[in-house]
Amino acid sequence: MQKGKINVQTENIFPIIKKFLYSEHEIFLRELISNAVDATQKLKTLAAIGKYDGDISDLTIEVTLNAKKKTISVKDKGVGMNAEEVNTYINQIAFSSAEEFIKKFKTKTESEMNAIIGHFGLGFYSSFMVSDEVEILTKTYQKTGDTGAVRWVCDGSPDYSMDESDKADRGTEVILHIADDSKDYLDEHTLLGILKKYCKFLPVPIRFGNEKTWEKVEGEKDKDGNDKTVEVEKPRIINNTDPIWKKKPVDLKEEDYKSFYRELYPYSFDEPLFWIHLNVDYPFNLTGILYFPKVKRNLEVQKDKIQLYCNQVFVTDSVEGIVPDFLTLLHGVLDSPDIPLNVSRSYLQSDPNVKKISNHITKKVADKLESLFKDTRPDFEAKWDDIKVFIEYGIISQPEFYDRAKKFCLLKNVDSKYFTFDEYEKHVSPAQKDKDKQLIYLYSSNQQEQYSFIESVKARGYDVLLMDGVLESHFINTLEQKLEKTRFTRVDADTVDKLIKKDDVLPSKLNEEQQKVLKEIMEKQIDDKKFTITFESMSEKESPILITQNEFMRRMKDMSALGGGGGYGFMGEMPENYTLAVNSNNPIIGRLLLEPDGEKQASTIKQLFDLALLAQNMLKGKELAEFIRRSMEQV
């Protein structure tokens, strides 16, 4: 038997490993299985080049739980190790810089340790985070030289022992004797969950116990005449060893992509809209599939759905830094050995490859969207309501994306007609300009609530965009900066005649003195400081009173409610202000001024005011009930 001591100038390095090696202790299982996969893949490579001629028909890695003995084991049938290799790879390599590590540890903060720890080959030693003792049984694949099996044991101190083992088969088994503070890992469901999380796409089969299933008995029927089935117990293989992102797109069908989406998201009831298959081998390696899902209004619910892998080993679903922020709304997988990670594979380190990969993903997404728009515009328009949030988010958050997106980003009007930016400019240029020759893009944020305003402006020959998405306030602000001499105004933000220059300006039927008298009368009846009364010369057919709100103030409030109001976060707390635009040409307003009955005059003003509030969905509660009662009495 060989006994030894790890050469470190400290009582015990393992408490340091437990504290700093990984942020989540469950990673120990991923690391051990990754090592087992590496050993298996090495054997397959040796066999492929004629360096090994043994049996490789079954290379399944077995994970075994024994709750009574408090052990978890990971067993592979890979290359294995002899005594010399154990001494080199276990006793020396992992701790070759341990003394330097300890010196640095003494002066570093915990956040700095996350970067330092990545310089040490400590993956195997993650097992000591959850174990009182770790045992290795291993036998090399080699048939010459030192071929005896080896048993290595360490209890978490600098001391270890190594002697011969009676292990007969090729490969390595790591046995963890689980510590009392980690006994949660002795639960079968917990262990299965960790395996499915980190190992479900590893390239070597991984077995964890057995599972029961029902199988049809060929040629036999039950008493009801149905196919007879029996319950059988089969090995539980937890991973798909050949995920479709490793295959060539030409070898895949539409159903293959949809089936894989259901495998990734078994609880999603919506099918993806379309997808992008990434397959890059220069100047970096990147494979994966990104799906465009149907996005709900709550954007945050949709995030963290892209899974990052490193050689098919799950790393994280927090892909900020690799994927541009606006594309974190996508679903799918990315797999790259070139994304630099520290030892926990959970934190990106500074590296130019990351920026290159991020730019490439953006380019591929833009290429896909542009080709869909050009080749199948009707289908692209049919999907627009579901995909526009990605494009709008990209235009808002990534200025360089706009240069690509302006070719396929669409504007939709209330009549469900679609326009590119250039098409819409040509569509409204003849009629929708103000006195400064600036284009006015009228829009609605809610077609039902703003119906009367929409119909009013449409009757006058103007077009109205429908901009009812969750990001529209930010998107509109961005477009006003991008599009020359263009201003967006909601249909209920101001009276149209005030916004758009008209050659046939209507004269007012009330002179200034009459307007002043009526304004004083109305201010007594509408005692609400948030309303400012003005008189507008509109068509006789327009409503007698319209309630409008300043476009800038309303938009800032909307942006503040969503978050990131461009420095105007305080807007959400400011008192609301509205304009009460009185149509001086409406016959009702003219009669109101001449009404001799004071009570009837007051009642009419109240009724008109409530109607204006109702049109803006601002009449609620007690006031709404009184309005209904008053209206019923007049029937």
Average predicted confidence (pLDDT) for the chain: 83
Residue length of the chain: 635
* pLDDT for residue 79: 93
* pLDDT for residue 627: 84
- The sheet with strand 464-466 has its strands ordered as 464-466, 439-444, 486-490
* pLDDT for residue 241: 93
- Go through the domains of the chain in sequence order and give each one's CATH number: 2-208 (3.30.565.10), 244-377 (3.30.230.80), 410-505 (3.40.50.11260), 509-549+572-635 (1.20.120.790)
Give bridge partners of residue 544 from the DSSP assignment: none
* pLDDT for residue 635: 63
* pLDDT for residue 395: 94
Question: Does the model's pTM come out above 0.85?
Answer: no
What is the DSSP secondary-structure string of 17-37? Answer: HHHHS-SSTTHHHHHHHHHHH
197-255 tens-digit pLDDT: 999 999 999 999 999 888 888 878 887 878 888 888 999 999 999 999 999 999 999 99
* pLDDT for residue 118: 39
* pLDDT for residue 15: 62
* pLDDT for residue 566: 46
* pLDDT for residue 313: 87
* pLDDT for residue 235: 94
* pLDDT for residue 67: 95
Distances in whole angstroms, Cα of residue 585 to Cα of each of 111, 421, 537, 566: 71, 37, 6, 40
Can you tell me the distance from the alpha carbon of 334 to that of 309, in angstroms, rounded to the nearest whole number? Answer: 6
* pLDDT for residue 323: 86
Say what angle helices 587-594 and 512-525 make with each other, to 10 degrees: 80
* pLDDT for residue 153: 94
CA atoms within 13 A on the CB side of 480: 15
Give bridge partners of residue 240 from the DSSP assignment: none
- What residue ranges of the chain have pLDDT lower than 50? 6-11, 96-99, 101-102, 105, 110-121, 301, 343-346, 565-572
